[in-house]
Structure 1
Amino acid sequence: MLRVIQRLQEESDIQSGIILDRFLRARKLESKLVEIQCQLVSIMRTDSSYTVNKSGTQIANSPEEPEVTNPLIDPRQLDANLHELSLLCQRSVLFQNFLNERAIEEMDVLISDNENEKDLVMKDKNEKFYGGNGLLLSSGLTKRVRELMSSYIVIDEYLLKKSIDKAMKLDDYDPTLASTSTCVDDVFFILKAVLKRAISTYEPQVVSSTVRTAVTILESTYLQVLHQRLNTVFTSYDPSGRNAERAMEQAKIDYMVTLNNLDVSADYTHRLAKEVEPDIINGVWLEGDNDVQKALSYIKDFENFSDKFDNLLKNGIEQLMKQILKPRIRPLFQESYKDVRYVLEEDEYNEADIDEKFVKRFRQRFDNLIKVYKTSLTDNNFSTLLGLLVNAVALQWERIVFQTRFNQYGALRFDKDLRSIIHYFSTLTEWLSRDRFTRLNQMVTLLNFEEPSEIYDFWGQKAGSVSWRLTVTEVKKILSLRLDFDANEVANLLPKSQ
């Protein structure tokens, strides 16, 4: 029976060659490859003549001529060709697996019956070209299909680049539909189809080449455009124009949409990598687990590209914080603290306890500050931005405390103000870390001492689990803000050696 299987492999090499030759002629693949290669060279040359306009869209530096589509490389026809090629490769692998499994069974029978039978079957065959199952290690069919898949890779690269370019040119944003623009869903829909088709070939090298191509095009086309949008969006309006304020608000929206695109793109990259893993694991690969592990490692390389989205996103949010929001923190406190004091008599304290001027003003102004970001950013981006904002608020508040005078009633009032603001921030996001207010809370503790010497009940060995974030110098400075504390007593507290 093994002789029959060997003969079947030899005959399949002959007949598959005839079929593949007819396929190549019928689909005009060689002519298509020549045209595609010319197009790819043209694209590489014209890429250097493109700039990105203020909205982040690629435009030509010279008048753009209408795109002429060669019917020979019509995208829909090329997509159909890729599907056919992937099926050819898949069927070839399945056929080879079938032959290999049956040949192994027959070889085991021969060996168990009579070792001489095996030698008879392998007579006149160069064993270095044959495997332990008696079949060719690399059949003619396998070689021809792998040659065809090199054409697959070229066509796939061309079609992927054209598709992503088109998705970016048609990019649009509708706030009623999503927090991202259309390019994100379009691009990752394309990538999903491309990766799944590559995996369906059950050829690790095809998966490897497809992943490398996808990553390269993502970086050079998709990520680059998003990067340019972040860099240019705020230069797209005239600050001295009649509608400057409206233009500035639109620029903020465009900037936030780009941040959302990056956030969702990073998430989609992870999700897509996880989604295709079952296709790899459940596939019928020629070399079994070895091919599975190779394919999984290639998909991991694709997933790692999400780090580039995350890095650009982090820089983008930090720039938004630094240039737009951080300069507004100090005025926010100035407006909120107008007519507010922390040196109070008992009746003034009771009145302040009812009015809560600072808390009400701060919340109102902070709500106005973050309103557009809360409604426009993704939950992840808003939480990240809010974290940076809270850090800036805490730092600015510390500076204000160091410049403020207190008495006992004022210290109590400040304690309530701080608690109210911390609670307010906790209602904005579930990811708020109270650790950001540790220094301010320790300042409140100091300001509410009955006597400066109480510090010895909290410092040094008596600190217990408390980790003091304030230095000795800062502790003394805070205590000296209490008008009713003796300045000399404060100055003599806590030698630096403690």
Structure 2
Amino acid sequence: MLDHIRSLTDVGTMNRMLHESIAYERSIDGELESLLAQRQEVEKKLLGLHRTGEVLEIVRADAEQMLRSVESTCALANLVSGKVRELDLAQSRVQETLARIEAIVDRGSCIDGAQKALASEDYESAARNVERFLQLEERMGGLVDPASDQHVQLLESKRKLEEVIKKRFYAAVDARDHAGVVRFASLFAPLGLHEEGIKAYVSYLRRSVDHRARDGFAAVKETPDQADFVAALNNIFKDIAEAIEENEELLKSLNGEDGLVYAIRELQEECDSRGSAIVKKYMEFRGLAKLEKEIIAQTNAEKDIVAQSKLLMSAGGAAEGPDLRSIEMFLEEILLLIQTSEDYTQYMIGRVREAGSSGAQLSPRSTTSFKVGSFYRAVQELTSHYRLLEEYFMAENVRKAIKLDEFPANSLTTSVVDDVFYVLQSCTRRAVSTSNVHLTLSIVTCAANLLGNEYKDALQRKMREPNLAMKLFAGGTGVVKVGMEVAAALNNMDVSAEYVLKLKAEIEEQCNEIFPGPAEREKLKSSLLELGEASVSLRQITNSGLEQLANCIAPRLRSTLDAVGTVSYELTEAQYAENEVNDPWVQKLLHGVEANVSWLQPLLTAGNYDTLVHLVIDFIVKRLEVVMGQKHFNQLGGLQLDRDARALVGHFSGMTQRTVRDKFARLSQMATILNLEKVSEILDYWGENSGPMTWRLTPNEVRRVLGLRLDFKPDAIAALKL
């Protein structure tokens, strides 16, 4: 039994093993089938690799062949490159040899040409051949043999040519043969004689300028009373300028831009010599130094009361100083001399700077020589005389105009205004025309001082005459004669303030044309500012005088304004209607204004009259605000006040060219408040609801005005949030 069981167990094991073996075989068969399925693909890839290998073998063979070819070509190229370098070197030597041969031939040609030209007196051709020979030698550098026959022959020809050219040049100079001088001067440069040539030719130019300048100076020296000093000086300037312009190319050919600068500097010495002599002769002829001493003595005497009394003449008048008409003539002459000198100097400095920008080597002396030479010092001395004469002429004419002041017919101002400003305009315009910023500054400052002192004091004296304004209404009515005097004094101030601004603008415009530099304009600002301050001062005095005049008119309106205090504004409808027919006070006030103010309109300038009207309005409005602030109103009373204010605005608007609404703004706003139906309506006009209206009343003043309405409760007014 046991064996049977064992046998059965063995059979089971064998069966299991058999099944496992079968399963393994099947898996192997599956793998074999899979490998067999991939066989074709693998065979294809192997076939592709085989073919690629064949191609690579071919490429390798080609590459090896190309490498052998490149190595062969490289060796050949190295061989050819060496041959090329040898050929280049040989060619360079051949070219150098040919150039030397050509230079030798050219030099021989230059020697022959120079000798033949010299023999035939064709100096220009000879000079060109010499110049060509020298250029060839310079090009050959160290290859030139100084002992060679060619070099020796050429130097001999050059020496002979130099002797001939110099001899002919100086002969032409002595004979004043300008064409000959120019011809031979132009031959210095080709021979390499640049420095000697420029010095010789500029010396000739100086002699030419000096010759004519000497004749001009002789004329002013021998007959100064008939001489034209300005023309004599202009001739020197013209000769120097023409010498530079007409010979510019020749000067540059001799020594470039430096030659031009050298000529300008040398010719300026002729100006220093002859120009300064003419200026000094003019000052001597006109006796400017003596005249200046007389002016200084008189000016000092006028400052000293004791000395001034000694100058009084037996006839009782003041001793006469230098003749103003003669001084004016001198000023015009000096102006022309200064102007032409300044124009010449600026032109020459401009030419020097132009040459410097083109490559000339400028030394500090190149331009400063124009500011330190004897001519410059003479002009500075002349300018000093001009400054004193101009200041004296201006001051004396202003004093004369003040002294001879009169009231022309059909004029709003006295003669002093137009006379003084004509003098100031003429003198300052003349000073600016000198193109001298320091001189202009001095004269403009002098004009500002005259306006701010003597002239202003003279105008103020007219306004300070005792009781002049009080006499205006002597006898209760306006006195026309006194009114004309008062008006003229005020008009003088008003017009003068305007004239000062016009004078300032004119000077500034003229200075902008003549002095383009910002530094020069900056220097003039202080003097122009003084003129502006003089205008402000005159305007302040004018306003002060008009205030005094308005104070004389105010008492004549006070009674009418005081009567307004008795007028009631607690109106019934009947009273309101009656007031529309029979105005209680407005027309009386306006009649009083017309009677006391309007008659002055044709006597005053438009600006003065407008200011006077506004001053009177200020007085009226202030008084009315006080009076109305003491009254009580009902709504009809508020309407009445609004009607009164409108009537005043309408009338005064017709009396002046300037707006008057702002003057009555507070009064009109009081009327608006007093017209309200109820207290809260003020909020419709206040704050953000004010629209274009600007409130002139403060919140407390608004509450105070609301309190003038009898029917408005204090609690409602106090509760307002303004």
Q: Return the TM-score normalized by structure 2.
A: 0.58
- Which residue in the other structure is 2:85 paired with? none
1:445 pairs with one of 672, 685, 704: 672
- Which residue in the other structure is 2:645 paired with? 418
Matched, 1:21 2:280: yes
2:386 pairs with one of 143, 148, 152: 152
Q: Mark the CA change 1:414 to 1:63 in structure 2 (over 3 Å): closer, same or farther.
A: farther
Asked whether the equivalents of residues 237 and 244 of structure 1 are also in contact (C-alpha less than 8 Å), the reply is no
2:304 pairs with one of 32, 39, 45: 45
- Which residue in the other structure is 1:53 paired with? none
Report the number of matched residues: 462
- Which residue in the other structure is 2:320 paired with? 69
Which letter does structure 2 place at the counterpart of 1:65? G
Q: Mark the CA change 1:404 to 1:64 in structure 2 (over 3 Å): closer, same or farther.
A: farther
Q: Mark the CA change 1:383 to 1:320 in structure 2 (over 3 Å): closer, same or farther.
A: same
- Which residue in the other structure is 2:500 paired with? 269
- Which residue in the other structure is 1:104 paired with? 353
CA distance in 1, matches of 2:469, 2:716: 59
* Cα deviation 1:5-52 (Å, max 9, x = unaligned): 1111111011122112211221111211111111111111249999xx
Asked whether the equivalents of residues 234 and 251 of structure 1 are also in contact (C-alpha less than 8 Å), the reply is no
Q: Mark the CA change 1:47 to 1:158 in structure 2 (over 3 Å): closer, same or farther.
A: farther
CA distance in 1, matches of 2:646, 2:467: 37
* Cα deviation 1:429-486 (Å, max 9, x = unaligned): 2312422222212221222222344345445676566554435554444334334x16
More helix by share: 2
Map 1:72-471 → 2, pairs under 5 A: 73-111=322-360, 118=361, 127-131=363-367, 135-174=369-408, 176-234=409-467, 250-283=481-514, 290-291=519-520, 294-295=523-524, 298-321=527-550, 323-334=551-562, 337=564, 340-459=567-686, 467-471=694-698
CA distance in 1, matches of 2:333, 2:634: 83
- Which residue in the other structure is 2:289 paired with? 30
Shift of 1:166: 1.0
Which letter does structure 2 place at the counterpart of 1:332? T
Match of 2:717, SS? coil
- Which residue in the other structure is 1:493 paired with? 717
* Cα deviation 1:274-296 (Å, max 9, x = unaligned): 2233432333x6x9564455446
Which letter does structure 1 place at the counterpart of 2:288? L
Asked whether the equivalents of residues 452 and 490 of structure 1 are also in contact (C-alpha less than 8 Å), the reply is no
Asked whether the equivalents of residues 312 and 318 of structure 2 are also in contact (C-alpha less than 8 Å), the reply is no
* Cα deviation 1:47-67 (Å, max 9, x = unaligned): 9999xxxxxxxxx99998223
Match of 2:554, SS? helix
Q: Mark the CA change 1:415 to 1:497 in structure 2 (over 3 Å): closer, same or farther.
A: closer
Q: Return the TM-score normalized by structure 1.
A: 0.82
Asked whether the equivalents of residues 493 and 539 of structure 2 are also in contact (C-alpha less than 8 Å), the reply is yes
CA distance in 1, matches of 2:270, 2:639: 94
Shift of 1:379: 1.3
Shift of 1:424: 1.2
CA distance in 1, matches of 2:626, 2:685: 23
Q: Mark the CA change 1:277 to 1:370 in structure 2 (over 3 Å): closer, same or farther.
A: same
Asked whether the equivalents of residues 478 and 596 of structure 2 are also in contact (C-alpha less than 8 Å), the reply is no
Shift of 1:165: 0.9
Shift of 1:492: 5.0
CA distance in 2, matches of 1:439, 1:19: 75
* Cα deviation 1:139-185 (Å, max 9, x = unaligned): 322221112211112122222221111101111123x4221111000
Larger deviation, residues 427-436 vs 18-27: 427-436
Match of 2:504, SS? helix
Asked whether the equivalents of residues 679 and 716 of structure 2 are also in contact (C-alpha less than 8 Å), the reply is no
Q: Mark the CA change 1:46 to 1:87 in structure 2 (over 3 Å): closer, same or farther.
A: farther
Larger of the two Rg values belongs to structure: 2
- Which residue in the other structure is 1:115 paired with? none
After superposing on structure 2, the runs of 4+ consecutive aligned residues of structure 1 that deviate more than 6 Å are 47-50, 60-64, 236-240, 243-248
Asked whether the equivalents of residues 171 and 182 of structure 1 are also in contact (C-alpha less than 8 Å), the reply is yes
Shift of 1:193: 0.5
Match of 1:40, SS? helix
Shift of 1:77: 0.4
Match of 2:658, SS? coil
CA distance in 2, matches of 1:333, 1:238: 23
- Which residue in the other structure is 1:54 paired with? none
Larger deviation, residues 33-42 vs 453-462: 453-462
Runs of 5+ consecutive residues of structure 1 not aligned to the other structure: 51-59, 112-117
